[in-house]
A and B are shown apart, each in its own frame.
Chain A
């Protein structure tokens, strides 16, 4: 029916978009950050709980397109149990993946986002929650945006 976009809207993505995981506020939490996409008005808030250096829990709330919602949902699963440095390394891998279509490293389930690179306008959607993750870990109070994300 929409064969050309099957790469973008993979079944896993459709599933996470319709049934986002960890879709709730975490209160209290160790840190949180907002992400905004000024292009489309999408916004989400990401919450993290850390035990020392390790992320023990991640959750999000907000609204956005299928890609941004699924990305946030998969992120909350993927970063659980990771250290700050490991999460930072994952951010770099995901960015490589969604802009180039492949990444030098194991991205696990996140591989479903490889198709995004064929749709340059959607890179911002896929990367929004990851920017929020980095901001939360850095403890930045200001909302982050994907304004300067180029592909």
Chain B
């Protein structure tokens, strides 16, 4: 018996009342977790408690409520540091999510350290959020982008070619830990190690991995790492950037405003040290507090358990769906994350997604914000079923049956 079989996964569903509903007269099957996860009662309750008892602005009040809010806000930062094993909580900067974290680094770090002719190395499987901010930086500075290729439909990075791409001009390697479109789990330790040996700064997009497996930035050896709270049971609109303090200290501010200054004058200001240098204005306060509850919730289950369960669901779904005629499944055959991206030949992903919805199944159909990757694969879009710990193999069986019905409907 695997360790994850000791967890009573179905009991956890009780923490997610939203899952217990009918959609179009059918039990909801929520398979859009890579877009956003559902939130357990514990997280919702943390938000309610904050707003009903402690709501006030942080870091500037001298009254009781402000003290409580500040304490909870900073406790969440410490919790986030512990969640990814950062050396200190000051290495955690609150952002709206992974996208803002990448933009922050592209703007603050990039403007200072990237010069004309430098190369920013990405991979062919990146989300638009890990491409466009670097394009903007490249346009501002005259730097160039390069992309480490993937291998065909199995969607693995072509690591044999990595050294060829890690040229002396490369200043940054930024890559996704788990691909939202393929389910590929990239060898994050190896990638960072090989880049570091060449003195290249590394950025890990952990949007799809943070809530699904243990993360240790010291073991990974990255310089930056970004997390979205809403994909890991937390509220929308909150996430964080981890940055190695040595780098953060050298970076100019991202946004200007209240809260980030040490002294301000009409013509010149001085700035606080990290992380507050990068957090201008009244922050999202309830967000970190909700995310704190989410991190506690995930660790009470055990992220190693979640990771094992995810991979079991991913493997089960892959095997099961391969049993359909005329299906093309993207991503690795083994060792995939808990998601399956596929095409039923002749049937457009949007039509599949629309019909699945009519049977109560929430899929994502589209390019998954990875248009360049779709082009590389020679498709416009795929349908994607992405799982979390509250999903079951019975739900995957249901998906299989519905996909069969869809094929019948289109006479495919």
Q: Which chain A residues have a beta carbon within 8 Å of chain B's beta carbons?
A: 1-2, 4-5, 8-9, 14, 18, 39-43, 63-67, 69, 119, 121-122, 125
A119 and B354 contacting across the interface, CB-CB below 8 Å: yes
Known pairs A64-B348, A66-B348; A5 contacts B365 (CB<8 A): no
A9 to B405, CA, bound (A): 15
B355 within 8 A of A: yes
Q: Which of A9, A42, A66 contacts B380 (CB 8 A)?
A: A42
Kindly specify which of B162-170, B212-220, B259-267, B366-374 makes contact with the partner chain.
B366-374
B409 and A2 contacting across the interface, CB-CB below 8 Å: yes
A139 to B224, CA, bound (A): 48
B351 within 8 A of A: yes
Known pairs A40-B350, A125-B350; A14 contacts B410 (CB<8 A): yes
Within the complex, the shortest CB–CB distance from A73 to chain B, in Å, comes to 14
Number of residue pairs A-B, CB distance < 8 angstroms: 59
Cβ-closest chain B residue relative to A3: B358
A40 and B381 contacting across the interface, CB-CB below 8 Å: yes
Known pairs A2-B409, A4-B358, A5-B358; A40 contacts B351 (CB<8 A): no
Q: Which of B351, B367, B381 contacts A66 (CB 8 A)?
A: B351
Specify which chain A residues have a CB less than 8 angstroms from the CB of B365 in the assembled complex. Answer: 40
Interface centre among A2, A8, A39, A119 (most CB of B within 10 A): A2
Interface centre among A41, A63, A119, A121 (most CB of B within 10 A): A41
B408 within 8 A of A: yes
A65 to B367, CA, bound (A): 13
Q: Which of A1, A8, A64 contacts B354 (CB 8 A)?
A: A8
A1 and B366 contacting across the interface, CB-CB below 8 Å: no
B350 and A2 contacting across the interface, CB-CB below 8 Å: no
Q: Which of B366, B405, B409 contacts A40 (CB 8 A)?
A: B366
Specify which chain A residues have a CB less than 8 angstroms from the CB of B349 in the assembled complex. Answer: 40, 65
Interface string of B8-25 (1 = CB under 8 A from A): 000000000000000010
Specify which chain B residues have a CB less than 8 angstroms from the CB of A5 in the assembled complex. Answer: 354-355, 358
Specify which chain B residues have a CB less than 8 angstroms from the CB of A125 in the assembled complex. Answer: 350
Cβ-closest chain B residue relative to A66: B351
Cβ-closest chain A residue relative to B355: A2
Closest A-B pairs by Cβ, 7 of them: A65-B350, A65-B348, A41-B380, A41-B367, A66-B351, A40-B366, A4-B358
B405 and A2 contacting across the interface, CB-CB below 8 Å: yes
B354 and A122 contacting across the interface, CB-CB below 8 Å: yes
What are 20 contact pairs spanning A and B, CB under 8 A?
A: A1-B408, A2-B358, A4-B24, A5-B358, A14-B410, A18-B411, A40-B350, A40-B367, A40-B380, A41-B374, A41-B380, A42-B381, A64-B348, A65-B350, A66-B347, A66-B348, A66-B350, A69-B348, A122-B350, A125-B350
Specify which chain B residues have a CB less than 8 angstroms from the CB of A65 in the assembled complex. Answer: 348-351
Within the complex, the shortest CB–CB distance from B375 to chain A, in Å, comes to 9
Within the complex, the shortest CB–CB distance from A88 to chain B, in Å, comes to 28
Q: Which of B366, B374, B409 contacts A39 (CB 8 A)?
A: B366
A60 to B326, CA, bound (A): 27
Cβ-closest chain B residue relative to A5: B358
B366 and A41 contacting across the interface, CB-CB below 8 Å: yes
A14 to B410, CA, bound (A): 8
A36 to B8, CA, bound (A): 47
Interface string of B349-363 (1 = CB under 8 A from A): 111001100110000
Q: Which of B24, B347, B354, B371 contacts A41 (CB 8 A)?
A: B371
B405 and A1 contacting across the interface, CB-CB below 8 Å: yes
Within the complex, the shortest CB–CB distance from B95 to chain A, in Å, comes to 25
Specify which chain B residues have a CB less than 8 angstroms from the CB of A121 in the assembled complex. Answer: 354
Specify which chain B residues have a CB less than 8 angstroms from the CB of A4 in the assembled complex. Answer: 24, 358
